[in-house]
Chain A
Amino acid sequence: MNASETHLWGNGPDGQVTALADILVDIGPIDAIAPGQGRAFIVAGRTIAVFRQRDGRVFAIDNQCPHRGGPLAEGIVGNGTVICPLHSWKIDLSSGRCLSEAACVQTHEVRVVNGRLLIASGIAA
């Protein structure tokens, strides 16, 4: 963890890493997600798709495609984009915006710290 992260991130009472705004949840080692794929986690009642690109970048967005609710974690990922497995809607992973429709999905802050995936829970610390 570097200095700026220490400023922003800290250890919670039970040893979990937390942020000042949201509780950050440790959802496991980065290797729990196969390279180039996504995987779904349920965080505070919300199903979130977390993606691990082969270039090392990670993204997190709501798992539901705005079109017909397709499970985005099962989509094909690359270049910061996921393609929904049901009808091939393309969604930009950093903005959550759908690339061809006026629709979007919620993005979530996610990062890799010490080989662990940390995700903003949406619940205030």
Chain B
Amino acid sequence: MSAGQRKLVVVGNGMAGARVVEEILQRDARQFHITMFGAEPYGNYNRILLSNVLNRTQSAEQIFLNPLAWYAQRDITLHAGVKAQRIDRERKVVIGRPLPPAALPYGADDVVTTAPAIEVPYDQVIIATGSRPFVPPMAGSDTPGTFLFRTIDDCDRIAAYAERCRTAVVIGGGLLGLEAARGLLAHGVAVTVVEAAPQLMIAQLDADAAAVLKATMEQMGVTVLLEKITTHILGQPRVTGLQFKDGSTLDADMVVISAGIRPITDIALNSGLTVERGIVCDDQLHTSDPDVFAVGECVQHRGVIYGLVEPIWEQAKTIADVISGVRPAAAYCGSKLATKLKVMGVELASMGDVRSTQPEDEVVVYREPSRGVYKKLVVRGNTLVGAILLGEADTAGVLTQMFMLGTPVPQRRADLLFGTSSGAPILSVLDLPDHAQICNCNGVSKGQIKEAIQLAKCRSVSKVGACTKAGLGCGSCKPLIQQFLEIYAGDVEEDDPSEHYYVPGVPLAKSELIAAIKARQLKSVSAVFREFAEGKEDPGSKPGLASLLKSLWPDEYEDERDARFINDRVHANIQRDGTFSVVPRIYGGVTSAAELRRIANVAVKYDVRMVKITGGQRIDLLGVKKEQLPAMWKDLGMPSGHAYTKSFRTCKSCVGTDFCRYGLGDAIALAQAIERRFQGVESPHKMKLATAGCPRNCSEAYVKDLGAVAIGGGKWEIYLGGAAGGTVRKGDLLCTVDSHAEVLTYMGRFIQYYRENAKYMERSYGFVERLGIAHLRDVLVNDSQGICARLDTEIEAAVAAYKDPWATDAAAPAYPAQFTGPVAVMNEQGELHP
């Protein structure tokens, strides 16, 4: 300890004590010298996971939060196995005594030991003694074979004893009691839960939910007895059963008592501090002595005792702010209670007032007993004041958020119980923790985006992007950012017109831009900049414009390669180390021995670092230098597989009718026809296709941008907007047709419509979802806009304009140094290269 440090003593080394120390060290690691008393002979562990130790899914070591070394590293003196008994407030010392090894750390009795007292002087004390199990008054509660469930050692004792038992009784049908029952089941004993109240989990559930839970538990093999008050634990020398107040009895080989907790207040009582049910604290967590604080389950704050972690973490923060002087006026004003947990593997979320208490409350209930599902909302004044989700808690995140923040609930209450019919996007993003990564390209977390919205006042997707870089990579997280804006800002700038621009550097929406380009017959990206952006060539806008121009002018487009991403300049996919990948086209995923031999020869000749089978049923040659590309293409003698550009990529197939004994349609011939027709056709984003010869869907056609599935009788179903990447979505059925030719027609029609109407970088799943399959069917099948013939003509022109870029550019580079790597011009000695 160094001079000038204040002496802080923390009584209790449980989760609350350790947390408050961590919070203080975070704020100021040098202000205090810290001494901790812990009655258990361990470092600090996560008590919440104790039932996992009991049911053996985790070892005791795995639930330690801070090992003993943690204390040493932070120069904290830890008296482990020492119980602090009294605070001498006159002399300002905390007095403790070592516990004998067999003593219960949370025992109420003062322990008689011969060991000398340990006295530690203090400037401030924090009491974090937690709670002890409550043992209801009954005879024989000390009979061997009776256990409490509170500490690691309890778990060990219960587990060891259970080995020789066939039946066990848990007294107490609350959260911990059910956890203990779960733990015991894992030891192969028959478990009965005995509860004095008329229902299980009275703190978290209403009577109906509890009845559903009881049924679920009974299905799992746990017997539940309600309204049973235990008066005797029977048996000598060991437990043989219980006797209840109504005179009935129950045989049992062991008993675990888990009937709730009571704050441990002994040290406060011994030291003359104010104690009611718990140690009474003000909003700064001072006890009745301003130099003595308390935190955690031992605290009574505004009449409430908290037994959940979140309120205790909030208390710990407040103490740390106050005691370190960072925010001396910090105040803890109490917590709203919401829990999400698993009871015996059953999902449960419970928050607030689960029993409606006001006549004007709106109560929404959904009950599905056969699946053990029960959901309830209590809405008051259009805000959520209580909720239960039992058996299925998918929407727990959004409910908790709405409950905690008091935000207005949506009109359709059902969305809160089941998610929105469109797939519940808002709910799922709210469910994410702050550290969850949203933009995977630039590593931006939800917390950072939230900060940009709330603190930096970003009010549009592009502004959030400018502030955090979120959404500036592949852009696929932009819809999520939009949702965060709606949630955290509420008032999204609808009037930021740049949101609607097709590309940021040209102030026109897509339809306006297309009209203007056609009107002025602009055929190159630089011409568009010249006409509409005063010649300012925004680099981020170049690829989008190039893609659009190429689809507008299939034959006449002037291909300025500088407008294209490097992949499209050199027809290969750039890798993390600056090398490229080469993927030749393999129509429908069907190759030949001769082709494979050529590929193998090329791989050897060019020393290819990896040969990889892709997910699109093709072969990827990786680690290729730019200089090697044209020669490799020539040697391969195969067209480009376009595994790099925003275009038609590939059409996978299953073996269809040729060999498969289940095949209903010729999936291979169809896939090859599709791939030969649409190869290289550019689009707002990539398109991955598949054909499946039967609904077993081995080629995953249901989850492709476009998919065709044979259903027998020569019929094919056409699916649109499927996805199985970062987003997973089953495609929507557009129509069912009778021939390969019709599949090609409808697919082509959709592709052209997508090319004309989607935003740049909008995948088909977003596009189809945005427009809706009903609209697409109307336009593409019923021809409601009378454009089908035109769409068919336009896609035909795009198909006709296809040239294999490998053949073209291997013959002659499209621009100087297209396939040249870095050129050495001068060595380090300043000598020029020839």
Contacts and interface: CB of A to CB of B under 8 A. Distances in A.
Interface of A: 14, 16, 23, 25, 27-28, 31-37, 39-45, 47, 53-55, 63, 68-71, 73-79, 81-83, 85-88, 90, 100-101, 121, 123
Interface stretch (B53-61, B222-230, B823-831): B823-831
A66 to B, nearest CB: 13
Contacts of B563: 36, 76
Contacts of A68: 576
Chain B CB within 10 Å, residue with most, of A16, A34, A39, A78: A78
A73 B566 CA distance: 10
A3 B472 CA distance: 45
A55 B576 CA distance: 31
A74 B644 CA distance: 15
Given A36-B560, A42-B822, A85 B565 contact: yes
B772 interface: no
Interface stretch (B350-358, B404-412, B539-547, B697-705): B539-547
A70 B574 CA distance: 10
Contacts of B569: 37
A23 B540 CA distance: 35
Given A16-B832, A32-B817, A34-B562, A78 B539 contact: yes
Interface in B523-569: 526, 535-543, 560-567, 569
B825 A25 contact: yes
A41 B821 CA distance: 8
B820 interface: yes
B557 to A, nearest CB: 16
B369 interface: no
A76 B817 contact: no
Contacts of A79: 505, 536-539
Given A54-B537, A76-B542, A40 B823 contact: yes
A23 B830 contact: yes
Contacts of B472: 88, 90, 100
A36 B526 contact: yes
A27 B822 CA distance: 12
A25 B537 contact: no
B826 A43 contact: yes
Nearest to B443: A87
A32 B817 CA distance: 7
B101 interface: no
Contact of B537 (A33, A71, A78, A88): A78
7 contacts: A23-B830, A40-B822, A42-B822, A76-B543, A83-B539, A100-B472, A123-B826
A74 B431 CA distance: 39
Nearest to B541: A78
A42 to B, nearest CB: 4
Contacts of B441: 87-88
A54 B442 contact: no
A91 B385 CA distance: 50
Given A39-B817, A54-B526, A81-B539, A34 B826 contact: no
B290 interface: no
Contact of B473 (A25, A75, A88, A121): A88
A95 to B, nearest CB: 16
Contacts of B469: 100-101
Contact of A43 (B526, B562, B825): B825
Contact of A27 (B820, B825, B830): B825
In order of increasing CB-CB distance, the 7 nearest A-B pairs are: A36-B562, A78-B537, A40-B822, A78-B539, A34-B815, A42-B824, A74-B566
B615 interface: no
A77 B562 contact: yes
A41 B565 CA distance: 20
A37 B823 CA distance: 15
A60 to B, nearest CB: 12
B359 interface: no
Main secondary structure of the interface of B (DSSP, over half): loop
Given A44-B826, A75-B566, A90-B472, 8 more contacts: A14-B832, A23-B826, A37-B815, A43-B825, A44-B828, A47-B822, A70-B578, A76-B565
Nearest to A37: B562
A99 B578 CA distance: 22
Size class of B's contact patch?
A: 35 or more
Contacts of A101: 469
Contacts of A25: 825-826, 832
A87 B475 CA distance: 11
Nearest to B442: A87
B755 to A, nearest CB: 22
Given A36-B526, A85-B565, A100-B472, A55 B822 contact: no
Contacts of A78: 536-539, 541-542
A73 to B, nearest CB: 8
Interface string B801-824: 000000000000001111011111
B466 interface: yes
Nearest to B467: A100
Given A74-B574, A78-B539, A78-B542, A31 B566 contact: no
Given A23-B830, A54-B537, A33 B817 contact: yes
Given A45-B828, A63-B822, A87-B441, A53 B566 contact: no
Contacts of A28: 825
Nearest to A35: B562
A105 to B, nearest CB: 15
Contacts of B538: 78-79
A33 to B, nearest CB: 7
Given A47-B822, A85-B566, A88-B472, A53 B830 contact: no
Contacts of B828: 44-45
Contacts of B561: 34, 37
Contacts of A45: 827-828
Kindly name the residue among A23, A41, A43, A76 whose own CB sees the greatest number of chain B CB atoms within 10 A: A76
A82 B539 contact: yes
Contacts of A81: 539
A45 B541 CA distance: 34
B825 A32 contact: no
Contacts of B542: 76, 78
A30 B612 CA distance: 40
B677 to A, nearest CB: 31
Contacts of B567: 85
Contacts of B815: 34, 37
A39 B466 CA distance: 28
B651 to A, nearest CB: 28
A45 B536 CA distance: 34
Nearest to A123: B830
Contacts of B827: 44-45
Nearest to B815: A34
Interface string B419-446: 0000000000000000000000110000
A52 to B, nearest CB: 9
B35 to A, nearest CB: 41
Contacts of A69: 578
A41 B397 CA distance: 53
A64 B211 CA distance: 65
A29 to B, nearest CB: 9
A100 B466 contact: yes
B473 to A, nearest CB: 5
A55 B562 CA distance: 13
A45 B827 CA distance: 6
A86 B832 contact: no
Nearest to A100: B469
Interface in B439-475: 441-442, 466, 469, 472-473
Contacts of A87: 441-442, 473
A81 B822 CA distance: 20
A124 B576 CA distance: 35
A98 to B, nearest CB: 10
Interface string B508-530: 00000000000000000010000
A77 B413 CA distance: 50
B440 to A, nearest CB: 10
A76 B826 contact: no
